[in-house]
Structure 1
Amino acid sequence: MSKFIALKVAFCLLLVGCLNDTLDASYDSLADVDMTKGWVPAWLPETAVNLREVHNLDSNASALAFDIPPGGAWQLPEHCRSVTFADTAPSHFDRSWWPSESSLSSSYSLYQCKADASPDFAFVGISKTGRRGVHWRAYAR
């Protein structure tokens, strides 16, 4: 009987693991990212490093933070427009590498961009130092 219970427990653990639809990833540089997945925008600067990303498969919500080394520069796509913090939607994720609301509102220049294949929200923040960037998709719940 104990083998049967152990098998049931193992099956339940496997099932619970399969139900996790929020995935985290980290990359040393943009060159390490599989861009075909669509979670990282193709227009990020080629010099981006220390990328941290989380996304939810059901909602398509995502969050991404990255560093830009000294001398690295980048330009947002033309479809992005400047917004205030009050005009953004919050990220759906709480990660240690994600800036606080206070930091986003005071230390970042914020933009709303067209979301890939969606009428919902995509936002970009560029730290006022120009050394840190964030990108998030916050779909209506």
Structure 2
Amino acid sequence: MNHTIPQAIARLVYVRLSASAFTLVAISTLLAGCLDTLSDAHFATAEEARDAGYVHSGWIPPWLPDDATDIHEAHDVDTNISMLAFALPDPDALTLPDTCRPIEYAQLFDPPLERSWWPDEESLRTSYAFFRCSAEHTTYRFVGVSARQARVLHWRTYGN
């Protein structure tokens, strides 16, 4: 009988350690999935972005012009921050929502993410006209329009 008690204890310890290891792996897997909340997308046309559901889901605003091309979008599903840039043949024809008001560059908050497709600060400061629009899911929403570069920017943030 002396041999069966240590064997029983060894089995019990093995079962508990195995269950603990399984639980730890399961929790780690769930947390890893939760931490990856950033999403990036590129669409050749506005039609592609709409078909992919990005306008319907709200990551791209509904006022995206039909002739927008080279559309880059990045967002965080947990915080709702987002960035959008697209080419537009005639940016002067862009129709923004009535809630958008012109502002100066100095009144902007920095974009919430860093992306290679986003213009540098010098280009932003010298080539874009800016607007602040009402924001549904974040504190601030901005639009930048560059007639010279035929580009439009849109970003949502909570501020610096």
Task: Compute the TM-score of the two structures, normalised by the length of structure 1.
Answer: 0.82
Counterparts in 2 of 1:71 and 1:110: CA distance versus 1, 3 Å: closer
Counterparts in 2 of 1:72 and 1:78: CA distance versus 1, 3 Å: closer
Aligned twin of 1:45: 65
Structure number having the greater helix percentage: 2
The answer to whether structure 1 residue 138 and structure 2 residue 154 are counterparts is no
Cα separation, 2, equivalents of 1:127 and 1:71: 7
Residues 32-78 of structure 1 deviation map (CA, whole Å, 9 limit, x = unaligned): 12121100000121110110000011111000000013598322122
| Deviation, structure 1 residue 110 | 0.5
Residues 105-135 of structure 1 deviation map (CA, whole Å, 9 limit, x = unaligned): 11100000111345x1000000132610000
Instruction: Tell me which amino acid in the other structure corresponds to 1:61.
Output: I
Check the 8 A contact 2:142/2:154 in 1, yes or no. yes
Instruction: Tell me which amino acid in the other structure corresponds to 2:88.
Output: I
Cα separation, 2, equivalents of 1:57 and 1:128: 31
Cα separation, 2, equivalents of 1:16 and 1:76: 38
Higher-Rg structure is: 2
Aligned residues: 135
Counterparts in 2 of 1:71 and 1:90: CA distance versus 1, 3 Å: closer
Cα separation, 2, equivalents of 1:93 and 1:17: 20
Could you tell me which runs of 5 or more consecutive residues in structure 1 were left unpaired when the two chains were aligned. none
Check the 8 A contact 1:48/1:69 in 2, yes or no. yes
Could you tell me which runs of 5 or more consecutive residues in structure 2 were left unpaired when the two chains were aligned. 1-17, 19-23
Cα separation, 2, equivalents of 1:82 and 1:71: 15
| Deviation, structure 1 residue 12 | 5.5
Structure number having the greater strand percentage: 1
Aligned twin of 1:126: 145
Aligned twin of 2:131: 111
Q: Secondary structure at the match of 2:56?
A: helix
Aligned twin of 2:85: 65
* Match 1:28 to one of 25, 30, 44: 44
Aligned twin of 2:35: 19
Cα separation, 2, equivalents of 1:71 and 1:57: 29
Bigger mean CA offset, 95-104 vs 69-78? 69-78
Quote the RMSD (CA, aligned, Å): 2.6
The answer to whether structure 1 residue 86 and structure 2 residue 86 are counterparts is no
| Deviation, structure 1 residue 140 | 4.0
Check the 8 A contact 1:81/1:113 in 2, yes or no. yes
> Structure 1 residue runs of 4+, over 4 Å off?
11-15
